[in-house]
Amino acid sequence: MRISVKYGAAAVALAAAACLLPGSLSQAAPAQVANQASQWWPSAAERSARSVEARFINRSNALDAAGIAALIAPDAKWDSVGNLFNGRDDIMNRLIIPAVIQTSARYTVIGSHWDGFRLQMDYHFVSKTGDDVLLHYAYLVRNGQIADIVEYID
């Protein structure tokens, strides 16, 4: 009698676990795995944006006007704290060349995050003309080029 009660209790416990286990695995685990994967593996859009941003900052710090221009789409837009620049030529001639190239400016990355649509970057920006500010750029990258930047001063 003792053996059957012992095995009977074990069978009930095993049956209860079998009923609970498949449901919890089939419903919760895939969502958890998907959420964890998206946290650890950047999307193709994020990888592209980060690659373009890194090249943009490297070329800016090298004062490479032609290299910077190649990363900006011909029809790009740049909102620099309310000052609007339309198109690569306007951005280069009225913003990048006078504010970055001619002042020997330097960007230092201090933070970043991907919001699912734009790459958000924080920089310490210093120039030889005395600029020493914290900047925030929100990059929109399409087809390997900067399509739009919204710039804020912190």
For 42-52, the pLDDT digits (tens) are: 899 999 999 99
* Model pLDDT, residue 13: 53
pLDDT, tens only, 92-136: 999 999 999 999 999 999 999 999 999 999 999 999 999 999 999
Q: Encode 7-76 in three state secondary structure.
A: HHHHHHHHHHHHHHHHHHHHHHHHHHHHHHHHHHCCCHHHHHHHHHHHHHHHHHHCCCHHHHHHCEEEEE
Average pLDDT, the chain: 85
Token pair for residue 27? Answer: 């419903």
* Model pLDDT, residue 25: 45
In the chain, where the domains are located:
1-41, 44-153
Specify the range with the lowest mean pLDDT, choosing from 39-43, 62-66, 114-118: 39-43
CATH of 44-153 among 3.10.450.50, 3.40.50.300, 3.40.50.170, 3.40.50.2300: 3.10.450.50
C-beta atoms surrounding 50 within 10 Å = 17
Token pair for residue 18? Answer: 């079998």
Q: What is the pTM of this model?
A: 0.73
